[in-house]
Amino acid sequence: MSAEAHNEHAAKTLSDHHQDDHHGDDHDHGSFKTYMIGFLLSVVLTAVPFWLVMTETLAPQTTGLIITAFAVVQIVVHMVFFLHMNHKSEGGWNMLALIFTIVIVVIAVAGSVWVMYHLNVNMMPTHEMQTMG
């Protein structure tokens, strides 16, 4: 192989390598527009609960529920706009892993709350035991 042919081959291989930087990735890496939409939604989803807490316009229980709802929506916004998780990414495996994680967390949290509730109900405080005797 001549030096010129070798240089042409090396240049072609190098240019092919730079064109295929993602090595077969067909992921949606987002655009400036999608990142800005996600950012603006995140700002609104943070500012509204902050305003509710600072102005004390609603009852504390209602404010807590609204903050929880906004937090869940913000998690979804971050997953869609910043982590690019949808039913198409990674052939659906990302979504399957997310669903599995949610199921495990719900089981762990619900079981913990159930155990703590029943311990609280079934454990007799010491001052009630003294009045019984």
Write out the two tokens for 3. Answer: 């030096």
What pLDDT is recorded for position 132?
64
Report how far residue 80's alpha carbon sits from residue 100's, in angstroms, rounded to the nearest whole number: 18
- Render pLDDT for 13-27 as a digit per residue (tens, 0 to 9): 555 544 444 445 555
Length of the chain: 133
- Render pLDDT for 70-88 as a digit per residue (tens, 0 to 9): 999 999 899 889 888 877 7
pTM of the model: 0.58
Mean pLDDT of 5-9: 63
